[in-house]
Structure 1
């Protein structure tokens, strides 16, 4: 039993690692970047400074390693959209609402799904 739990836990860690890696490289493969928006024209010298500040001027492997280290340490960094706010702060503000919504959705799904499952099992056709 304990070996099965450990195996499942390690499989989960591996799946998270693979998902992180695929997501990271797919996002980096997209054209443009977070500071190359058509709606806001940022002067080139300011964009270069901002990219240097966030480490986006580093090689892709260095960016990947730094991001992976930060995620493992539980520090996703600063938000690029909300200036001066950490991602953990933004998540911690939204988490209670998301948790409440998830609980209500689970309750509604169970209230509808269980009776429908019983009816489906009772009346086979």
Structure 2
């Protein structure tokens, strides 16, 4: 760890943290925007699966060609029970689903975005301290 935030190493670490947090936030915003542009369909929860602290649901939803798709999707919002209707967003390539998610998983993007925003504010503050001129002795 750096001896002082004003040292060369401290300035490098402060800048690296800020750059990493900004890049992470850009990635989260890009992912959220891309996922919102995917096609969506109404599906039915068939089964709720729980593994440790994480939960997922097995959902059946229709594709544009009339076939049914069954996927196990992470549950980031409220608990879903079998028989409930949910909106599924999915990404198609060459007629096949390459990725799918429940439409209510925007909460996860918000949580990560807010956390990265706090890290960015901390990084800005650390950089202000690191790059501020040293007080001159009188």
Structure-1-length-normalised TM-score: 0.36
- Higher strand proportion (structure 1 or 2): 2
Structure scoring higher RCO (CA < 8 A, sep ≥ 6) equals 2
- Higher helix proportion (structure 1 or 2): 1
